Amino acid sequence: MLFEPMQAGEIRLNNRVVQGPMGRLRADTQGVPGELMVEFYRQRAGMGLLITDGTFPTTAGKVQYKQPGLETAEQAAGWKQVVSAVHAEGGSIVVQLMHAGWNTHREITGQPTQSPSALPHEGYTHNALGERIAYEVPEELDQDGLESIREGFALAAQRAVQEAGFDGVELHGANGYLLHQFLSHNTNLRSDAYGGSPEKRAAFPLEVAAAVVEKVGPGRVGMRISPALPIQGVVETQEVVETYDALVDGLNELGIAYLSMEYAPDTEQLVRHIRERFQGAFFLNDASKMGTTEFNGLEDAQRMLELADAAVVARAALANPDLVARWQQGVELQQPDWDHIYTGEARGYTDYPKAT
């Protein structure tokens, strides 16, 4: 089943192995993808579906230097070269749109850091010199800020599909980034229409999804979620089921193509619940090895398919551009070059050989 094709809305998958989004910071300083990124994605076009690096829809949502964006025509033109290379190899690719929320700094964006609520955020990021800078307390988003973010996501999605030619867009509602911050009771302390109850916490992510659907159609939209997995200061321990029920019900009304969920062994019951409730294609990513140097192998992917329609893997795809062929033929996998994950060069990015 892992190597069988499937359809997710308007998005065609040649097999059920999905490359998960991985921020490798290989764009230029203006957020424009170049030849290095073209080659990386071209090499991995044998995956059933490629999900790109988390890509900022607006500069205010940029998480790090050399992260790719989709705010300008130049960025879209860079991505078009990536998409064309993947399509020439017979592959499918969607762009993940990600707003950092409180996981950035004005030294990176040149703009105030914003989040659902003005709460201190522990941890740090890096400036242009690679030096650590502590996170700052974000400003609480006002109505103008909310509207700007909705519009930014929508225009970036339109640019992705109409200018760059992507097969679709994935909204990043996971891993502690902005849309996830709205969903969590510990990062969303609002008392207006966007906080205070499960339905209200889900409201803004759903408004963003609706704005994107209006631009590109529901069959080209997916969303990534990571319920009850604590990460980057976002912790979900209260009303988790109720919040994600509200989110999923809203996504069902929009009719989006797929939902991609990260899970760990202790959230498997929640996986079953959400899959039963969601009406589109359901992707799954086993995040239990996060924070280690291990990665998901063939048996892990096959186990994900017991709970989902497609298996999402990341590190295995990074180190093995021919991952699907290796799994089909029983060839041993290569290990990632951990010392060169974020160095901005070809080493540890496009220099992994295919099996002979």
- Report the catalytic residues: 177
Q: How many CB atoms lie within 10 A of CB 184?
A: 23
Q: Where are the alpha helices (DSSP H) in 44-104?
A: 73-88
Q: In whole angstroms, what is the distance from residue 226 CA to residue 207 CA?
A: 19
259 contacts 280 by C-beta, under 8 angstroms:
yes
Q: Which residues contact 202 (CB under 8 A, 6 or more apart)?
A: 182, 183, 243, 244, 246, 247, 250
Cα atoms found within 13 Å of the Cα of residue 117, Cβ hemisphere only: 22
Best CA proximity match to 57, nearest among 175, 145, 149, 156: 156
> How distant, in Å, are the alpha carbons of 2, 40, 53, 63, 342 from that of 175?
26, 24, 13, 13, 19
Cα-to-chain-centroid distance, residue 72: 20
Radius of gyration of the chain (CA): 19
Beta strands in 202-328 (DSSP E): 221-225, 258-263, 281-286, 310-313
How far is C-alpha 151 from the geometric centre of its chain's CA atoms?
Answer: 19
